[in-house]
């Protein structure tokens, strides 16, 4: 999360469910969007726009998309500036947007334009410590394609950056993206349809990636949501899978394949639901896709909370899809931060809303391995109970811990660990990608990244230790371990090994841990007390160790990749 005021993120209001049909429509309508009454923010964190053509139509539609996504950002539009001089005022923005019409640079050759633009972006990155978004060229010429490729390469290499994919929007809209006749009137060649599509992409696909808590699980109603009919009345064979419902189920299955967790939240008899998934081979969504089942006659809010606890995620990481508007409103009112999709307008609209929903992971395998880890967790618990001691348990588990020192290619994941980890986050500092970059590149700092695999599953990236040298002491300024890795009796080992390498790398003789007290990080604080052998003296502070803990001979494979 960037170092920006907390007011960027607002509660997701249940009354905005009524906006769904308008904001996810295949063809956006400016009048319908304005009728929603979303008011632009007039104070607080700003999206600062650097432009050489008009952005005003985009800005007029943007508040509705931001409000639906739970974000509060005012738009500050700069003067026309082909040179991108970046004369930044003292007031700090929360995000910088580069909005250029590249046809305004006819005298610059392909390489000259690319070199100039990436140079200006690097200059902005050097003076601005907030996310930077740059709009791609919507053109299809060789020059445009080369430029967009360079922009995406720059974004991959540069922390806290993103490309607004106008080229993809232009491919979708076709000739309707450009309206040359509007240039003299509006100050931009981009059509009204292009401006609205740009506002949606910015408010739903780009900005939530920097500021909104990511969705990790989809909670699914069954009756009249995934099929047509009521299971309790029609029976497993009687509910109807229409073509549109099949497309919706396929779309949900694709999200599961990307690593998103699925939970069934349904008021039905558990036996009927089990029979439904066992007897309907025509369903694209299979029981194997489902990581959690909460089927019964209680209220949906209780079921969502129970599902989140079982999946080891926060309730505000859940998106609930249901055709019953009353139950959605009730659940949204009782579970703060719960995201909602109303399925009552039909499966086609539901699928559009799902595929475009803000804060869903846009890169493949964003949460890969989580569902397999959850299934393997039950087996691990049984192994732990059956093993005579910890050594026997670890030997049967066959765990491998893989450590990397200052891996710049993992910058985004290291930031995610800091931002998303709640139960085992020792200092609660919440590092952005820019913060992580400073640890990766400074001579007096380092990061150790830990991956975990065992015989049951590959858990992937599970821990990060951020350390800095202070005199002869190594100060662990942040330590975060994913909840997926907890309970395997490996916390002491992964921290001790990471500490040893960090102490050696930075040339330190002593070790200290920064810590803070938060509403959910009790497990981390209790671990530090046990590790140090004494209680924490204050709610927040620094705890020094007398020395590194001794090595223990345990049946775990340790691998260093650097």
Q: Kindly indicate the confidence band of residue 163, based on its pLDDT and cuts at 50, 70 and 90.
A: very high
Q: With 50 as the cut, is the pLDDT of residue 366 above it?
A: no
Q: With 50 as the cut, is the pLDDT of residue 425 above it?
A: yes
Return the pLDDT at 6.
43
Per-residue pLDDT reduced to its tens digit, 121-159 = 999 998 888 899 999 999 999 999 999 999 999 999 898
- Residue 106 to residues 101, 152, 165, 166, 438, Cα–Cα distance (Å): 11, 22, 22, 19, 38
The Cα–Cα gap between 73 and 42 comes to 9
Return the pLDDT at 9.
67
Q: Kindly indicate the confidence band of residue 4, based on its pLDDT and cuts at 50, 70 and 90.
A: very low
- Residue 281 to residues 47, 277, 284, 287, Cα–Cα distance (Å): 49, 8, 8, 11
Show the tokens assigned to 549. Answer: 């803990």
Q: With 80 as the cut, is the pLDDT of residue 87 above it?
A: no
The Cα–Cα gap between 307 and 315 comes to 8
* Bridge-based pairing state of the strands 318-322 and 292-295: unpaired
- The 10 Å Cβ neighbour count of residue 475 is 20
Residue 170 three-state SS? helix
Per-residue pLDDT reduced to its tens digit, 164-198 = 999 999 999 999 999 999 888 899 999 999 999 99
Task: State the span(s) of the chain assigned CATH 3.40.630.30.
Answer: 386-560
Q: Kindly indicate the confidence band of residue 1, based on its pLDDT and cuts at 50, 70 and 90.
A: very low
User: Nearest Cα to 481, choosing from 513, 445, 446, 452?
Assistant: 452
Per-residue pLDDT reduced to its tens digit, 329-363 = 999 999 988 999 999 999 999 999 999 999 888 65
Return the pLDDT at 332.
92
Query: Under 8 Å CB-to-CB from 218, ≥6 apart: which residues?
Result: 252, 255, 260, 261, 262, 263, 318, 319, 320, 321, 354
- The 10 Å Cβ neighbour count of residue 47 is 26
Residue 186 three-state SS? helix
Task: State the span(s) of the chain assigned CATH 3.40.50.1000.
Answer: 217-356
Q: Kindly indicate the confidence band of residue 367, based on its pLDDT and cuts at 50, 70 and 90.
A: low
Return the pLDDT at 64.
96
Q: What angle do CA 25, 26, 32 make, to 5 degrees?
A: 40
Percent of all residues in the chain with a pLDDT value above 70, rounded to a whole number = 95
Q: Kindly indicate the confidence band of residue 11, based on its pLDDT and cuts at 50, 70 and 90.
A: low
- The 10 Å Cβ neighbour count of residue 247 is 15
Residue 163: CA count within 13 A, CB half-sphere = 21
In the predicted model, what is the mean pLDDT of the chain? 90
Sign of the C-alpha dihedral computed for residues 284, 290, 294 and 300 taken in this order: negative
Q: Kindly indicate the confidence band of residue 520, based on its pLDDT and cuts at 50, 70 and 90.
A: confident
Mean pLDDT of 197-205: 97
Task: State the span(s) of the chain assigned CATH 3.40.50.1110.
Answer: 6-211
Residue 338 three-state SS? coil
Mean pLDDT of 37-46: 89
Task: Name the CATH superfamily, with its identifier, for domain 6-211.
Answer: SGNH hydrolase (3.40.50.1110)
Third-level CATH fold of 386-560: Aminopeptidase (3.40.630)
Return the pLDDT at 2.
39
Return the pLDDT at 488.
84
User: Nearest Cα to 231, choosing from 279, 191, 186?
Assistant: 279
* Bridge-based pairing state of the strands 318-322 and 217-220: parallel
Q: What angle do CA 167, 171, 176 make, to 5 degrees?
A: 105
Domain 217-356 has CATH 3.40.50.1000: yes
Locate tokens 């590249």: which residue? 102
Residue 387: CA count within 13 A, CB half-sphere = 17
Per-residue pLDDT reduced to its tens digit, 315-334 = 989 999 999 999 999 999 99
List the 161-164 sheet strands across, edge first: 74-80, 46-51, 95-99, 132-135, 161-164
Q: Kindly indicate the confidence band of residue 12, based on its pLDDT and cuts at 50, 70 and 90.
A: low
Q: With 50 as the cut, is the pLDDT of residue 93 above it?
A: yes
Q: With 80 as the cut, is the pLDDT of residue 562 above it?
A: no
């Amino acid at each position: 999360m960037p170092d920006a005021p907390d007011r960027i993120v607002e509660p997701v209001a249940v009354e905005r469910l009524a906006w769904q049909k308008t904001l996810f429509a295949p063809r956006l309508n400016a009048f319908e969007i304005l009728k929603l009454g979303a008011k632009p923010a007039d104070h607080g964190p700003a999206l600062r726009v650097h432009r050489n053509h008009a952005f005003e139509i985009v800005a007029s539609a943007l508040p509705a998309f931001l409000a639906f996504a739970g974000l509060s950002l005012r738009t500050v539009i700069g003067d026309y500036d082909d040179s991108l001089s970046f004369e930044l005022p003292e007031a700090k923005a929360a995000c910088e947007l580069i909005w250029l019409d590249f046809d305004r640079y006819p005298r610059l050759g392909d390489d000259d334009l690319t070199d100039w633009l990436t140079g200006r972006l690097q200059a902005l990155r050097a003076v601005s410590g907030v996310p930077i978004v740059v709009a791609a060229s919507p053109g299809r010429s060789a020059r445009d394609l080369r430029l967009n490729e360079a922009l995406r390469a720059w974004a991959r290499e540069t922390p806290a950056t993103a490309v607004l994919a106008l080229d993809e929007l232009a491919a979708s809209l076709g000739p309707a993206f450009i309206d040359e006749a509007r240039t003299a009137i509006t100050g931009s060649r981009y059509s009204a349809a292009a401006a609205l599509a740009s506002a949606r992409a910015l408010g739903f696909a780009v900005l939530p990636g920097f500021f909104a808590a990511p969705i990790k699980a989809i909670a699914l109603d069954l009756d009249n949501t995934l099929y047509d009919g009521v299971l309790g009345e029609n029976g497993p064979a009687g509910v109807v899978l229409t073509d549109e419902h099949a497309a919706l189920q396929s779309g949900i299955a694709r999200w599961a394949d990307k690593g998103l967790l699925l939970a069934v939240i349904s008021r039905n008899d558990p036996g009927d639901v089990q029979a439904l998934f066992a007897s309907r081979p025509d369903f694209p969504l299979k029981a194997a896709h489902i990581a959690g089942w909460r089927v019964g006659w209680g209220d949906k809010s209780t079921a969502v909370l129970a599902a989140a606890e079982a999946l080891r995620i926060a309730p505000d990481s859940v998106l609930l899809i249901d055709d019953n508007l009353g139950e959605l409103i009730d659940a949204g009112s009782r579970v703060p931060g719960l995201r909602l999709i109303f399925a009552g307008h039909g499966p086609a609209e539901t699928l559009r809303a799902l595929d475009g929903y803000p804060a869903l992971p846009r890169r493949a395998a964003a949460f890969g391995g989580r569902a397999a880890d959850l299934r393997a967790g039950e087996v691990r618990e049984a192994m732990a109970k059956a093993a005579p001691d910890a050594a026997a348990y670890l030997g049967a588990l066959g765990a491998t811990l893989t450590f990397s020192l200052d891996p710049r290619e993992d910058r985004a994941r290291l930031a995610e660990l800091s931002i998303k980890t709640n139960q085992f986050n020792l200092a609660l500092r919440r590092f952005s990608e820019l913060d992580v970059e400073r640890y990766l590149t400074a001579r007096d700092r380092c990061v150790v990244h830990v991956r975990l695999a065992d015989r049951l599953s590959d858990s992937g990236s599970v821990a990060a230790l951020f350390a800095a040298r202070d005199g002869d002491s190594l100060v662990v300024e942040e330590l975060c371990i994913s909840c997926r890795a907890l309970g395997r009796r490996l916390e002491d080992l992964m921290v001790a090994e990471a500490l040893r390498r960090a102490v050696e790398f930075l040339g330190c003789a002593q070790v200290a841990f920064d810590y803070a007290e938060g509403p959910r990080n009790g497990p981390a604080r209790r671990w530090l007390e046990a590790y140090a052998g004494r209680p924490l003296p204050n709610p927040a502070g620094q705890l020094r160790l007398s020395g590194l803990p001794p090595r223990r001979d345990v049946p775990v494979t340790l691998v260093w990749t650097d």
